[in-house]
Structure 1
Amino acid sequence: MSTNPSPTDSSTTEPGPSILAERTLLGIFVHFIAILPLVGLIATVVIYAVSNHEFTRANARNALDWHLFVSGSFLATFVLVFGLDALFEYVALPGIVETAVFLPVFALAFVAIFLGFFSVFVWIVAMAKAIFGEAWRYPFAPELV
């Protein structure tokens, strides 16, 4: 009795072309493209809008949801920090009140910075999952698209 599989035995791996029928290279690399700061956001929107392959659209949607979530957190932090600073230039409040108002804003700033660094990790995980055929939802990201 031979333990070596014969060429006629079925294999669990599929040949390359049939794998690409289920998942596309663009569906995999959309996560790598999304890493780029501004170009990634625009490219992800374009890929989501023009793609007709469900796997590519699902991965682009997930990458776009994450990108919008992280970009929104940076934008909210920016608006709050500079908006409140401008407001406090015209409205005189005691220092303790200003500090109490700014503490949540600084917490949001730390969260936004953490999300920026965490993005590299989740983009790598999402691309690895896409290679194996899964459209992975990014953690914490709400469904925006």
Structure 2
Amino acid sequence: MGKTLRDHLFDTIRELGKSGLKTFKDKLNNFQPKEGYNPIRWGELENADAVEITRLLVSYYKEDYAVEVAGKVLEDMDEKKLAHNLFQATGKATGGAQQTPAPTSSTRTRVTDIGAQQEPQVGHFLTGPIPASPGSSRAGDSGDEIDLR
């Protein structure tokens, strides 16, 4: 049987050693979890060892979010390698590199070259509506070219 998320979490926390564990607990105590979760109380963290911290993380945040929280705390401690190893071992996206994808759109607008040799004119603005192509609800739909000269 393979390791569980909880096993990987414990292994990572255990690797911190005594000094790192103290810093981890302090950072975890100040960590603001996402909406719907409560922070772990200092009274529960203060004397906790790696086993107890793992138990607290999982009981407060469930396994998936506990891995995310631990990874973010590790990154805050500048333990980026440990965080990366935790994310890799658990199949989770790396915390700092994780990005929300940009919204996609079915429309594409291309702005044509406004003349590389022309100096921009300060205070020059487009006024009035930009005409839409036939059958289009707004300018820029269906790949229209908009000339901003």
TM-score by length of 1: 0.20
Structure number with higher helix proportion: 1
Q: Which has the larger radius of gyration?
A: 2
